[in-house]
A = this chain, B = another copy of it.
Amino acid sequence: MRFAVLGAGRIGQVHSDALAGVAGAELVAIADPMAEAAQAVRARHGCDIRTIDQISGSDDVDAVLICTPTDTHADLIEQFARAGKAIFCEKPIDLEIDRVRACLDVVRETGAFLMIGFQRRFEPDFNVLRGAIDAGKIGKVEMVTLTSRDPSPPPVSYIVRSGGIFRDMVIHDFDVARWILGEEVETVQAAGSVLVDAAIGEAGDFDSASVLMTSASGKHCAISCSRRATYGYDQRIEVHGSKGSVSALNHAEARVQFAGPDGYTVPPNQHFFITRYMNAYRAEIEAFVKAVTEGAPPPVGGEDGLQALALALAAMKSVEESRAVKVSEILG
């Protein structure tokens, strides 16, 4: 499968590198208005530099990875759906539910293959956890607890364009929650605070967020999210079930232990989400190639992008109106 990557920023580079390790995948072209960024990818992987419109019209491109800024996602999905390319798009499709729906209409009409980049679904440990649940190891899922803390906040310049902590950061946890709960969320309660950096508050966002969700059958899911953790990237899943529980633990920088007068110490967690999820990014692209090749539906589709966004919007509304918000209020 011949690929073009749209956007040569950080995540575009991650996917370009991941492609290099995927059997049956070939990087044909990179597009980026920043010439330097595109040249760096070309230097590393020996691909062409083309414009987005050139790629859209290229016969030697089967699939695109959309790694451009969020506000271009929906337009590009529509353009490449019409161009008949298989599409992988980084989350989110758009920050607004109506735009997402319009975009998904085009995908449906054109019969395009669209996969959304929620890479955590491909993380090996998380899949061991999910596999154990599917195998009945913990019985019926009852209470899910997600902990999600970045080592340090992004620059405020990023924050202002991000759509806010619920749509930018917690969105991943909303998707994991849906994946683990095994049924849709019905009600969302949330709280947001500025505890880490006052500048984030001045930019109109929160840096600390908590969510409490219930599903139709009464399962609970709690999310605890912060833009700062001094001990590295903190990403945990705990699932409490009728027969037991299963947890996905953090990844330390090294598997060593020190002992001394202060006690026993193991190193902090890996600090960078790209290091932490490198295996997941590779597995994600492999899953994309496999699904397209086999004519299977995308393992994470446009509807998943829509639902996760709806949870984020419900959380935002809950904070604003100090009440439990039904997801149906968002989705109509």
Using a CB–CB cutoff of 8 Å, the interface residues on chain A facing chain B are: 124-125, 128-129, 132, 137-138, 140, 142-143, 145, 147, 149, 187, 189-191, 193-196, 208, 210-212, 214, 218-220, 222, 224, 226, 228-231, 240, 242-268, 322-324
Are A125 and B222 in touch, CB under 8 angstroms?
A: no
Q: Kindly list 20 other residue pairs between chains A and B, CB separation below 8 angstroms, not including A229-B259, A230-B260, A260-B268.
A: A124-B254, A125-B254, A128-B254, A129-B256, A142-B226, A195-B218, A210-B212, A212-B222, A229-B245, A230-B259, A231-B259, A231-B260, A243-B260, A244-B259, A244-B261, A245-B260, A247-B256, A259-B268, A263-B267, A264-B266
Q: How many chain copies?
A: 4
Taking a contact as CB atoms closer than 8 A, the residue among B138, B267, B322 that contacts A324 in the complex is: B322
Contacts of A322 in B (CB 8 A): 187, 323-324
Contacts of A252 in B (CB 8 A): 263-264
Contacts of A243 in B (CB 8 A): 230, 260
C-alpha gap A145/B226 in the complex (Å): 13
Contacts of A231 in B (CB 8 A): 244-245, 259-261, 263-264
Chain B: which residue is nearest A244 at the CB level?
Answer: B260
Chain B: which residue is nearest A265 at the CB level?
Answer: B265
Are A222 and B250 in touch, CB under 8 angstroms?
A: no
C-alpha gap A296/B226 in the complex (Å): 40
Return the 9 tightest CB-CB contacts between A and B, nearest first: A244-B260, A193-B218, A231-B259, A323-B323, A322-B324, A189-B189, A128-B254, A265-B265, A249-B255
Nearest CB in chain B: distance from A228 CB, A: 7
Nearest CB in chain B: distance from A330 CB, A: 15
Are A208 and B124 in touch, CB under 8 angstroms?
A: no
> Given A226-B240, A247-B256, are A189 and B191 also a contact pair (CB < 8 Å)?
yes
Are B222 and A245 in touch, CB under 8 angstroms?
A: no
Contacts of A324 in B (CB 8 A): 189, 322-323
> Given A208-B143, A214-B191, A240-B226, are A268 and B258 also a contact pair (CB < 8 Å)?
no
> Given A212-B191, A226-B240, A240-B149, are A245 and B258 also a contact pair (CB < 8 Å)?
yes
Are B222 and A222 in touch, CB under 8 angstroms?
A: yes
C-alpha gap A125/B252 in the complex (Å): 11
> Given A231-B259, A245-B259, A259-B244, are A191 and B210 also a contact pair (CB < 8 Å)?
no
Chain B: which residue is nearest A140 at the CB level?
Answer: B195
Nearest CB in chain B: distance from A90 CB, A: 25
Are A258 and B244 in touch, CB under 8 angstroms?
A: yes
C-alpha gap A257/B132 in the complex (Å): 11
Nearest CB in chain B: distance from A103 CB, A: 32
Contacts of A245 in B (CB 8 A): 229, 231, 258-260
> Given A254-B128, A261-B230, are A224 and B191 also a contact pair (CB < 8 Å)?
no
C-alpha gap A245/B261 in the complex (Å): 10
Are A242 and B228 in touch, CB under 8 angstroms?
A: yes
C-alpha gap A21/B170 in the complex (Å): 35
Chain B: which residue is nearest A225 at the CB level?
Answer: B143
Taking a contact as CB atoms closer than 8 A, the residue among B246, B254, B261 that contacts A258 in the complex is: B246
